[in-house]
A and B are shown apart, each in its own frame.
Chain A
Amino acid sequence: MKRLLIPFAAAVFAFANASMALQPDERLDDPVLEARARALAAEMRCLVCQNQSIDDSSAPFARDVRLLLRSRLEAGDTDEEVRAFLVDRYGEFILLKPTTKGANLILWLSPLLALAFASVVVWWYYRRWRARD
């Protein structure tokens, strides 16, 4: 049984080989550029996974986008240009950090709105208490 299984395991491991998160061969030589690439990759969603960034994901898709993103950076794109390029290609769904445009403004302002609303309610109640006292 053992003998039968070990070649099988080797086959499965070999299959799994193509799929792991960031590999040494993907890295750029320039440490500044590489750091920018890592930061950008952490902001991009792996579209075939559940809530993983392409930096964390081991899916082949994530590897493709990592390589693509690095090639854009090497070509001299700014971070903003890389984001725009990826959004153009894959849609806004790829951004783990949504834009601040349009309806997304509600999303970004929600903590402030919640805080403002709650503060007004507390203040209003407090005044009523005081008045009743």
Chain B
Amino acid sequence: MIANIGLLALALALPIALLQTGASFWGARRHRDALMQVGRNAALIQAALLTVAFACLVTAFLRSDFSLALVAMHSHSTKPFLYKFAASWGNHEGSLALWVLVLALAGGALAIRGESLAPRLRAHALGVQGMLGALFTCFLLFASNPFERLTPPAPDGLGLNPVLQDPALAIHPPFLYLGYVGLSLPFSLAVAALLEGRISSDWARWLRLATLASWSALTIGIALGSWWAYRELGWGGFWFWDPVENASLMPWLVAIALLHCAAIVEKRGALRQWSVLLAILAFSLAMLGTFLVRSGVLVSVHSFATDPTRGIFILAILACVSGGALLLFAARAARLRDDSLFAPVSREGAVLINNLLLCCGCATILVGTLYPLALETLSGAKVSVGAPFFNLTFAPLMLPLFLLLPLGPVLAWKRGSLLGALQRLQFAAFVGLAAVVGILVYRGVAPLWAPLAFGLGVWMLVGVCCEVFERLRARESRPGASFWGMSLAHAGMGVLLLGIVSHSAWSIERIESLRPGDSLDIAGFNITFENLSRALGDNFLAEQALLRVRSGNGDVFDLTAERRVYPIRATSTSESAVNYALAGDLYVVLGDNWTAEAEARVFRFYWNPLVSLIWLGAALMAIGGGCCLADRRYRASRREAKRGWEIRQRNFSADEIQ
């Protein structure tokens, strides 16, 4: 019953999306307010219908309705509540249903809160959004229907892959998709601007707002995924340059470029064409990511070729949407003229360099991710492009970006002075250099890049502090929320770099076989393996090793490292025991018995100094993005702009009468 309602709502969403597109475009073309109103209402109805459809899907999972093929494949009656809930998007069909839902919600947000936009511009954007909605709803209905029936119903489900049963991973996809699909709004706005042939500052404000919101969500999504990998995969890494990770990193990088560029468009009326192109690219990369992850092409070109329906469908949507938008860009971009020019050394110039480096970084990842596929298709040769490649190519591109990051905000608009900027940051430069020297003395020269990169992180962090301090001391004006947001996000980037450097360069690993009673020392901790026990969980059996840790300053605490076996899927996972601290994480993984003695186990011990800074940095960035959203400009603009529009409309009609 629930499933039927869901399917009905999903099926209804398709004609409504088409109505939204048709009414919006036609209304905008003919200047018909009533039609544009129909388009807006259709957007709201579409959002409501897809919410209902998705709610039905979630309900089916919560009730363990095994008459649905999807629930039987990916859920199980003994699974904890949270994971039943999360299972609804932990699979292909469900995750695409979430994709379409977020797409419709983005359109709904534009329909409700887009008063500040010129009505025709908004109608055009809603038309594009409706078109995207129609395409992806088609895909959902015809190529990956989440409400597919199973006859006869299964007695019980197959369960969710136990490695995925983790709170961080349960909420990781919604955030990721908010970010991915949120980027459809900048895309629709960009296409609308091309159709209109002009750009207003209201447009730029919306572009920035939508990009900031999506980017913040994407940051949280990626960070959650990375945090999950760190804890769950059991060897303490946080980023593996897996194609799936790359697929989310690419739109993230372009979204950073876009949100900086949108600020320039909003405040200076420059870089308009470029911002439109970036908005198109950002969403195209998000769709490409969906294609890469969802088509199975990454596992093997051949696995894609054996069941190409889904992949071809997404690829066709990608080609139409991105190709169409790029063609439109080629034809109409020349109309979008810039208001102001700027010297190379200026805040605009700094943003341009930021965009250049981020786009090159993104291009590198794109080439590295697609190269094996392309080569295999063209020549049949199989190569791998893994972490060593990305570390060697992507990291050097980011270093100049980090070096220039503190300079950007202290440069003046239009024409700045590099010397003046450096003078204002000399304290930060001094502290950064001191950090390099300090680490060289304290840690030695190997590896040489580590002290330099760490110093760079310190330079960014102190540089941002200098700016904040100077701004507060000047008292010319109280800094707004968006200044705080920017500073937080920039500081977050510095913190992230510190965490990454320290984890990659100075982690310590010990792999030892211990018997109960044995102990060993790592990074100033003395760890004793106390005993081994067994336990029974909701849907798993566990073997637990109790470890007593004595730290250098006399603290004593216990850690329990665990291995679990999930009988339903006949898989085992290892639950690492981690003592989280700002100075570093002590990370223990329980392994196997490798000797004749029954109680002996292999343990992997890691000391990961400052590793929590990675997620702290990401959190600061996301909070910074949120802060920018709270700026008065965005809150006030809605009411004022509406009034402004009414006045302009009135004047316009008054002119007509006269």
Contacts and interface: CB of A to CB of B under 8 A. Distances in A.
B563 A92 contact: no
Given A9-B541, A12-B565, A115 B299 contact: no
Contacts, number: 134
Interface string A78-122: 000000000000011111111000011011101100110011001
B598 to A, nearest CB: 10
A103 B374 CA distance: 11
B151 interface: no
A51 B240 contact: yes
Nearest to B604: A21
B644 to A, nearest CB: 31
Interface residues of B, number: 54
Contacts of B388: 42-43, 96-97
A133 B371 CA distance: 42
B534 A9 contact: yes
A29 interface: no
B572 A16 contact: yes
A112 to B, nearest CB: 9
B368 A107 contact: yes
Contact of B384 (A27, A93, A114): A93
Interface stretch (B153-161, B425-433, B472-480, B586-594): B586-594
B387 interface: yes
A126 to B, nearest CB: 7
B512 interface: yes
A96 B384 contact: yes
B375 interface: yes
B382 A93 contact: yes
Nearest to B338: A129
Contacts of A106: 367, 371
Contact of A122 (B356, B512, B536, B602): B356
A8 B382 contact: no
Interface in B354-373: 356, 359-361, 363-364, 367-368, 371
A23 B389 CA distance: 27
B359 A118 contact: yes
A25 B602 CA distance: 10
Interface in B324-374: 338, 341, 344, 352, 356, 359-361, 363-364, 367-368, 371
B202 to A, nearest CB: 25
Interface residues of A, number: 49
Nearest to A43: B388
A92 B534 CA distance: 44
Contacts of A104: 383
A92 B536 contact: no
B393 A13 contact: no
A13 B386 contact: no
Given A24-B594, A51-B242, A97-B388, A111 B375 contact: no
B352 A122 contact: yes
Contact of A111 (B360, B385, B387): B360
Contact of A103 (B341, B375, B394): B375
Given A13-B543, A53-B386, A91-B382, A25 B360 contact: no
A9 B543 contact: yes
B534 A45 contact: no
A6 B565 CA distance: 11
A130 B581 CA distance: 54
Contacts of B604: 21
B536 A118 contact: no
Nearest to B513: A24
7 contacts: A9-B534, A12-B565, A23-B594, A51-B242, A91-B382, A96-B387, A108-B393
Given A106-B371, A107-B367, A114-B364, 6 more contacts: A9-B543, A20-B591, A97-B389, A108-B389, A114-B359, A119-B356
